[in-house]
Chain A
Amino acid sequence: MIIMNSKLKILPLILGVTALSICLAATSCKGKTKGEGSKDKEETVSADEQTMEQIKSAEKVFNALPTPLEVAQLIKEAGARFDATLLNPVENKSNYTTSKSMALNLGIFVCDLSFASMYDETSLLVNYMEAAEDMATGLGILDAIDETTIERLEQNINNRDVIMEIVSETFLNSQAYLEDDEQHAVAATIITGGFIEGLYISTNMVDMKNFKGNKLVGTIADQKMSVDDLIRLLETYNDNSAIRELIGPVRELKTLFDRIERSTTPSSAQLNETTGVTEITGSARTELKPETFLTIKDKVAEIRNVYVK
């Protein structure tokens, strides 16, 4: 009788955990379910068939932002010169003690690391990798960056290809660990930190005396689309309080980016048989006025300064 009672007590728990496990399995990774495919099904459809229909209709949606490495490459392509004073000093790492600040600054330090590697600033690499390691360790992402990563970095300090490969792996490992561990909001916070840092560095690299026709200004104006992507990414995790705190200022930034006028011509794709590369044609005309640029630059600095303080 006593055994029977204890079993009855744990029965709801087991049923609850079973239901939760099935839900998790059906909506794995960061998929966002679209549609409600089974609502109008006939009652004669069996429960198993209904479950399979629901799994099939669970469409997964990903919003990808430019990563720190991609942004660093774009800025270098635009011909901007490196300025180490724009990076977040590694000495600040001890200030970050909450999950949110560690996640934001993991993104920021990886972004700084990306710039340093892209511009061959080898003296900065190890310190920034160690700062990123501290943030990752604080977040419990133990296999993203470890002593082996630092050693590999030191051994290849003059090999830019290997360095960039290590930086890419660092970001991938952090994202993969968090996504697979269902910590999507933390992963989104890291991405936000990296993206804002990239904007901060790039907006501060623009020489206002050389504004008109500046390629870097065009690259920054193109970030208008990525700011939209960032908003969509953050809104996916709006149920998380840390994400809600991040959204407001990013929405304010979006309203400033929305002042940029952009018009495009229809696109078409043509395979270049010689190179094997498809060329997507279709031009765009973007107009970013200096005063709009300066308000964007100030807003980015305001957001970034909250992240790094």
Chain B
Amino acid sequence: MRQLLQTLLITVLLSLLVTGEAAAQCKGFAKSLCKKELGVYLHDGNYHAAVLVEGEEAELYKTFYSDLEYRLAICGADGLPPIEFTVMDATGKVLYSNKEGGLTNIWDFKLEASQQLKIVVKVSTFGTRDQLPASGCVAIMFGFKAK
């Protein structure tokens, strides 16, 4: 019984520490590393970051406006396999996939008319099944050219 309690207690503490630590790392990762990828584009101030597991997907919906020129930056933490992303319009038509660009993590674009786009982000896989899937922070950031 004593051993069981010790094991449970350690599990609890580790779970809480890992969750808190991962969240804190995501914030730092987005601010210090991913934001730099926006370069001369002004970060809009939004924060979208999550701990994703190898093979996991996330979706983001946002309306983009015709008067602005945007940069999308998607960054994965060290230890994660490359991050794939696809941008679709409201009808599901694929407008861009970073597979076309050698899995680049930035994409610059502008629109003739304002429209809502869907961004699907997927952590690719290392392809090894004999160990636990890798996990880490993935941040999605937007910048626009301020005039």
Asked whether, in the complex, the Cβ of A176 is within 8 Å of the Cβ of B1, the reply is no
What residues of A have a CB within 8 angstroms of the CB of B65 in the complex? 66, 70, 74, 219, 222
Interface size class of A (residues with CB under 8 A): 35 or more
| Residues of B within 8 A of A (CB-CB), count | 67
Q: How far is the CB of B43 from chain A (nearest CB, A)?
A: 5
A-B residue pair count with CB separations less than 8 angstroms:
216
Q: Please give me the residue from chain A that is nearest to B117 by CB atom.
A: A280
Q: How far is the CB of A121 from chain B (nearest CB, A)?
A: 16
B103 part of interface (Cβ distance < 8 Å): no
B128 part of interface (Cβ distance < 8 Å): no
Asked whether, in the complex, the Cβ of B67 is within 8 Å of the Cβ of A78, the reply is yes
Q: Please give me the residue from chain A that is nearest to B142 by CB atom.
A: A64
Asked whether, in the complex, the Cβ of B43 is within 8 Å of the Cβ of A168, the reply is yes
Residues from 1 to 59 in A contacting B, C-beta threshold 8 Å:
4, 7, 10-11, 14-15, 17-18, 21-22, 24-25, 28-31, 52, 55-56, 58-59
Asked whether, in the complex, the Cβ of B44 is within 8 Å of the Cβ of A69, the reply is yes
Asked whether, in the complex, the Cβ of A278 is within 8 Å of the Cβ of B108, the reply is yes
Q: Mark A249-286, 1 if CB is under 8 A from B, else 0.
A: 00000000000000010111100000111111111100
Please report the C-alpha to C-alpha distance between residue A168 and residue B113 in the assembled complex, in whole angstroms. 25
Asked whether, in the complex, the Cβ of B68 is within 8 Å of the Cβ of A77, the reply is yes
Asked whether, in the complex, the Cβ of A74 is within 8 Å of the Cβ of B67, the reply is yes
Tell me whether A61 and B59 are in contact in the complex, defined as CB-CB below 8 angstroms, given that A28-B22, A180-B24, A282-B112 are known contacts. yes
Please report the C-alpha to C-alpha distance between residue A222 and residue B133 in the assembled complex, in whole angstroms. 42
Of A203-211, A224-232, A292-300, the one contacting chain B is A224-232
Asked whether, in the complex, the Cβ of A31 is within 8 Å of the Cβ of B110, the reply is no
B33 part of interface (Cβ distance < 8 Å): no
Residues from 30 to 68 in B contacting A, C-beta threshold 8 Å:
30-31, 35, 42-53, 55-63, 65-68
Q: Mark A65-81, 1 if CB is under 8 A from B, else 0.
A: 11111100110111000
Please report the C-alpha to C-alpha distance between residue A130 and residue B24 in the assembled complex, in whole angstroms. 26
> Which one of B15, B30, B144 contacts A176 once the chains associate, using CB atoms below 8 Å?
B30
6 pairs, CB–CB < 8 Å, chain A vs chain B: A28-B23, A28-B51, A62-B60, A222-B65, A278-B96, A282-B111
